Amino acid sequence: MEIPGSGMVALTLFLFLSVSVCFSASNSTKESFLQCFYSHSPPSNTTSDVIFSQNSSQYLSILQSSIRNLRFLNASKPQYLVTPDSEAHIQAAVICSKEHGLHVRVRSGGHDYEGLSYISDVPFIIIDLFQMRSISLDIKNEYAWVGGGATLGELYYSIAGSSNLHGFPAGSCPTVGVGGHISGGGFGTIFRKYGLAADNVIDAQIVDVNGNILDRKSMGEDLFWAIRGGGAQSFGVIFSWKVKLVRVPPTVTVFSIGKTLEQGATKLLHKWQTVADKLHQDFFIHVVMGVPSANSNGNKTVRVSFDCLFLGTAERLLSLLQQEDGFPELGVTRDNCTEMSWIQSVLYFAGFSITESSDVLLNRTMSSTQFSKAKSDYVKEPIPESGLEGLYKMLVEEENSILILTPYGGSMSQISSSEIPFPHRSGNLYGIQYILDWAAAEETEKHLGWMRRLYKYMEPYVSKSPRAAYFNYRDLDLGRNNKRHTSYAQAAVWGLKYFNHNFKRLVRVKTSTDPDNFFWNEQSIPVSQSGSTKKGKKE
Ligand SMILES: Cc1cc2nc3c(=O)[nH]c(=O)nc-3n(C[C@H](O)[C@H](O)[C@H](O)COP(=O)(O)OP(=O)(O)OC[C@H]3O[C@@H](n4cnc5c(N)ncnc54)[C@H](O)[C@@H]3O)c2cc1C
Ligand SMILES: *[C@@H]1O[C@H](CO)[C@@H](O)[C@H](O)[C@H]1NC(C)=O
Ligand SMILES: *[C@@H]1O[C@H](CO)[C@@H](O)[C@H](O)[C@H]1NC(C)=O
Ligand SMILES: *[C@@H]1O[C@H](CO)[C@@H](O)[C@H](O)[C@H]1NC(C)=O
Ligand SMILES: *[C@@H]1O[C@H](CO)[C@@H](O)[C@H](O)[C@H]1NC(C)=O
Ligand SMILES: *[C@@H]1O[C@H](CO)[C@@H](O)[C@H](O)[C@H]1NC(C)=O
Ligand SMILES: *[C@@H]1O[C@H](CO)[C@@H](O)[C@H](O)[C@H]1NC(C)=O
Ligand SMILES: *[C@@H]1O[C@H](CO)[C@@H](O)[C@H](O)[C@H]1NC(C)=O
């Protein structure tokens, strides 16, 4: 696919896994890593290859298959790609990487905003879980086991195939992987009612730093707490989640109302800030702010779209919304509402037509891959109109800038802020995600500069001490670890933003489960230097 303006080919390659691989034996370290890997793997199997060296003809297509941000297309590459089809391959990869001094990155859907699942500046391997994506449902008992490399789309598709009364509360983008998403929190259109994806995890299977397989019972409640929102990459490799299915009504309703500034967007936006978190938890009305192309007289204007998912019929939606404590100013009518099934609402929020077959949710290829940068904030007090005016001025400077304002409240305010590591619960009106895409490599610095100015501009209007951020909207501008040895104080700079008071407990869990900091990345949980909580592991 051509990326407009760059003449570059987006690498959206389909993977064929049955071709055999040839390995070069020219480097003895590599050879012995391979020998180690094979000796720890199940008896070799000619129909399924699970390790690829840089010389393999499939290496590049597999590596690039889930790179979602062109900023990282040419970054340093792993010595090996391991694509396990059973947990034994994960165990082998962990044990042998440790033995051969190779670093490990784990990839599920590859959506990490800073590419941390597939790039590293020290010699490394990638464990890519895309072959481990089986999903088994037990509708009667309302749970599912989901492979660590499955996508949200695959999960939604399979639930809807078995029940029209069940769903799962997670993100809207179907290509996002459950590995990163659930372990970092995970919110979507029904989270005001059911909580985060991570709030609905009831068990998990993980390969730990010693190559052991643990489940909830054997890992214990501390580690089980940490991997539900604290980012699994600091603790091991999740190869399966057991999640609770939630009950959705047979009919849900959506609408989308868009207004430009000239059409009175500011007044509505101001009102939205005071009601969106207080509406009935069956409502989710998020705001998408963007800048359409210049209009006929050459002016650029900001467009604000109020997009709703309601867990119920149009009739009930209208009666709640039109009440005084609803949002009558939005002027929603029956004509604006479309009733549909939950799975159709998934298609709708993923940008597909609701008449399309839900098979499209199984497609792991994103419709376009560009250069991008994102940041996040939390808002506790409505932003005054003067603050919004300044924001519009900045937005019109960048044609592809988008802000998504996600309402909190509902169940999110009822769940304790230390229930899992994700701390952003009551007291938050909404979260903001800032996203910027561009198509030309040479513009990268300019756009990053704009994004940082926007973030600076927003400072007075958002949460303070710490200025909170959402871990799944990874942002290395917030700070990064020094290779493997990072002090608590250094990591706390970004750690408190993502996890607030839960950061300390994450450090304790990390210190007791991975005292040598084998599983690290630029924003992994650091090991406490005092090592006071070590549990009989070597120093
Ligand atoms: C287009 C797009 C839309 C998004 N929409 C939403 C949304 O609606 N709601 C929301 O909450 N977030 C959303 N996100 C953010 C998303 O939740 C995070 O980027 C998430 O971490 C992606 O998970 P992944 O498995 O696809 O990514 P990866 O890049 O594969 O992984 C992300 C991190 O998790 C680690 N990891 C992945 N799998 C495992 C595993 N099995 N075991 C241990 N560690 C693992 C990786 O090493 C990396 O550190 C979106 C992101 C994008 C790019
Ligand atoms: C790839 O193969 C070439 C020659 O066939 C060899 O020189 C090179 O070392 C190999 N590289 C790796 C990473 O194995
Ligand atoms: C083997 O590869 C590693 C990592 O690329 C390199 O540091 C080392 O020098 C290589 N050894 C030989 C004998 O080529
Ligand atoms: C061999 O490959 C088949 C098909 O991919 C798979 O079902 C089986 O588990 C594999 N066996 C081993 C020992 O890896
Ligand atoms: C990656 O490198 C190739 C070859 O050097 C170059 O043509 C291409 O523009 C680079 N792509 C990106 C996204 O930087
Ligand atoms: C909402 O419905 C009214 C008619 O009831 C219509 O005039 C208006 O264009 C609709 N708005 C949208 C965004 O569809
Ligand atoms: C649109 O542009 C014209 C001419 O440049 C200007 O006079 C007018 O005020 C602009 N309108 C808005 C709404 O900014
Ligand atoms: C998957 O999506 C991509 C991007 O939208 C598209 O180009 C491709 O044709 C789709 N593949 C299938 C099998 O539908």
Q: pLDDT digit string (tens) for 93-105? A: 999 999 999 999 9
Same domain for 305 and 202, yes or no, is no
Ligand 2 site-directed mutation target among 21, 22, 26, 102, most atoms within 8 Å of CB: 26
Same domain flag for 74 and 203: no
Going by alpha carbons, the residue nearest to atom 52 of ligand 1 is: 111
Q: Tell me which ligand sits closest to the C-alpha of residue 22.
A: 2
Q: Tokens representing 345? A: 């609402």
pLDDT of 284-323, one tens digit each? 999 999 987 666 677 889 999 999 999 999 999 999 999 9
Closest C-alpha residue for ligand 1 atom 34? 180
pLDDT tens track for 358-382? 999 999 987 778 999 999 999 999 9
Is residue 466 reached through a cis peptide bond, with omega within 30 degrees of 0 on the bond before it? yes
Has residue 185 got a pLDDT over 70?
yes
CA-based nearest residue to 288, from 400, 410, 440, 409: 400
Indicate if the alpha-carbon torsion angle 9, 11, 16, 17 is positive or negative: positive
Same domain, yes or no: 283 and 219: no
> Looking at ligand 7, which atom is closest to the CA of residue 299?
1
412: CB partners within 8 A, 6+ apart: 191, 192, 195, 196, 424, 425, 426, 428
Determine if ligand 6 sits within 6 Å of the CB of residue 263. no
- The pLDDT score that the predictor gives to residue 369 is 85
**pLDDT of 24 over the 60 cut:** no
Mean pLDDT of 144-172: 98
Residues 376, 517 within the same domain: no
pLDDT number for residue 36: 93
Residue having the nearest C-alpha atom to atom 1 of ligand 3: 27
Our answer on whether the CB atom of 134 is closer than 6 Å to any ligand 4 atom is: no
List the Cα angle 360/309/497 in 5-degree steps.
90
Q: Indicate whether 226 belongs to any domain.
A: yes
Question: Is there a domain that residue 185 lies in?
Answer: yes
Q: Which residue has the tokens 């990490």?
A: 112
| Residue 443, phi then psi, degrees to nearest 5 | -90, 0
CA gap 135, 143 in Å, rounded: 11
293: helix, strand or coil: coil
3-state SS assignment for residue 165: coil
Higher per-residue pLDDT: 525 or 367: 525
Ligand lying closest to the C-alpha of residue 190 = 1
Q: Mean pLDDT of all residues in the chain?
A: 91
**Judgement on whether residues 283 and 383 belong to the same structural domain of the protein:** yes
- Domain-embedded: residue 112: yes
C-alpha of residue 497 to centroid of ligand 6, in Å: 41
Residues labelled as active-site residues: 473
**For the CA of 13, the nearest ligand:** 8
State phi, psi for 338 to the nearest 5 degrees: -125, 125
User: Is 350 within the bounds of a domain?
Assistant: no
pLDDT of residue 21: 34
Q: Residue of the nearest CA to atom 6 in ligand 1?
A: 171
CATH code of the domain containing 39: 3.30.43.10
Say how many CA atoms lie within 13 Å of 97 toward its Cβ. Answer: 29
Neighbours of 463 (CB within 10 A): 19
Find out whether the beta carbon of 336 lies less than 6 Å from any atom of ligand 6: yes
Average pLDDT over residues 416-439: 98
Ligand 4 centre distance from Cα of residue 90 (Å): 15
Our mutation pick for probing the ligand 1 site, out of 108, 192, 346, counting the most ligand atoms within 8 A of Cβ, is 108
What is the predicted pLDDT for the residue at 518? 97
Angle, helix 265-275 to helix 385-395, in steps of 10 degrees: 120
* Cα(363) to centroid(ligand 8), Å: 6
Q: How many domains does one find in the chain?
A: 4
Ligand 8 pocket: which of 13, 365, 366 to mutate (most atoms within 8 A of CB): 365
Domain boundary among 100, 128, 156: 128
Determine the 3-state secondary structure of 244 from DSSP: strand
Please indicate whether residue 47, judged by its CB atom, sits closer than 6 Å to ligand 4.
yes
Instruction: Tell me the CA–centroid distance for residue 355 and ligand 8, in Å.
Output: 17
Cβ of 43 closer than 6 Å to ligand 4, yes or no, is yes
Q: How far is the CA of 100 from the centre of ligand 3 (A)?
A: 12
Q: Which domain holds residue 486?
A: 479-534
Which-ligand-closest: CA of 307? 6
Domain-ending residue, one of 229, 247, 265: 247
pTM as predicted:
0.90
Domain match, 396 and 276 both:
yes
CATH value at residue 331? 3.40.462.20
Of 461, 492, 519, the residue at which a domain comes to its end is 461
CATH number, domain at 201?
3.30.465.10
For residue 56, report the distance from its CA to the centre of ligand 2, in Å.
10
Residue 142: pLDDT over 80: yes
Could you tell me if 382 and 496 lie in one domain? no
DSSP assignment of 388-404:
HHHHHHHHTT-TTEEEE
Q: Are residues 238 and 387 in the same domain?
A: no
- Ligand 7 close to Cβ of residue 297 (< 6 A): yes
Is 62 inside any structural domain?
yes
Instruction: Return the pLDDT at 405.
Output: 98
Q: How confident is the model at residue 486 (pLDDT cuts 50, 70, 90)?
A: confident
Test site for ligand 2: of 24, 30, 81, most ligand atoms within 8 A of the Cβ: 24
Answer yes or no: is 471 within a domain.
no
Could you tell me if 292 and 402 lie in one domain? Answer: yes
Q: Report residues whose beta carbon is within 6 angstroms of any ligand 3 atom.
A: 27-30, 123
Does 38 lie in the same domain as 82?
Answer: yes
Ligand 7 atom 8, closest CA: 299
Q: What is residue 221's predicted lDDT score, i.e. its pLDDT? A: 98
Query: CB of 301 closer than 6 A to ligand 8?
Result: no
- The residue contributing the CA closest to ligand 6 atom 10 is 336
Is residue 488 in some structural domain?
yes
Q: Which residues pair with residue 107 across a beta bridge?
A: 128
In a domain? residue 539: no
Confidence of residue 224 (pLDDT cuts 50, 70, 90): very high
Q: 296 CB less than 6 Å from ligand 7?
A: no
Statement to judge: residues 448 and 489 lie in one domain: no
Ligand 6 atom nearest the C-alpha of 258 is 13
Atom number of ligand 7 nearest to Cα 262 = 13
Domain shared by 70 and 177, yes or no: no
Atom of ligand 3 at shortest distance to CA of 29? 1
109-134 b/e (C-beta count within 10 Å ≥ 16 → b): bbbbbbbbbbbbeeebbbbbbbbbbe
